[in-house]
Amino acid sequence: MAQRISDLSDELLIKIISFLPTKVAVSTSILSKQWQFLWMWLPKLEFNDYSIIDDPDSILRFRDFINKNLPLHKSAVIESLLLRFCQSTLQPENIKLWVGIAVSRLVRELSIGYFCFGDEPDVPLPSGLYTCNSLTTLKLESPKLVLDVPRVVCLPSLKP
């Protein structure tokens, strides 16, 4: 039996930090070398900029953090990806990239809320989203998200 938390397996530590909000789980990476990349195995990810809405520098760092680290996420399956943004510092390519990564990781639940008010460009979703066999739940909230639905759509797992 493990006497110290450092004696626990990575699998068990990932299970433990999976109960934390993503932001807190990421912050555990400073605890030790063993913990440095554990958050990259989390099956559920939530990225939300509401708590930093009044700090443009923090918003840019937040966006850059996702751009740098989401492609490095190691879990073969993303059970859930929640994206909530209300800043114009995001580019359509950012959201398109993040959704594309989620689709490539067999995302099961995808929720996007992009609440910008102004002259921001529309955000087309990647075509792979419309043929994502693993997707069970899709929630889109934004007047800026463009559904350019192809002729062939195959979402066999999507729940009504």
Percent of the residues in the chain that have a pLDDT greater than 70, as a whole number: 93
First to last CA, the chain: 46
Domain boundaries, the chain: 1-41, 43-160
The alpha-carbon radius of gyration of the chain (Å, integer) is 17
Average pLDDT score over residue span 39-61: 81
Provide the pLDDT for residue 130.
95
| pTM for this prediction | 0.86
- Secondary structure (3-state) at 136: coil
pLDDT tens digit sequence for 100-121: 999 999 999 999 988 876 777 7
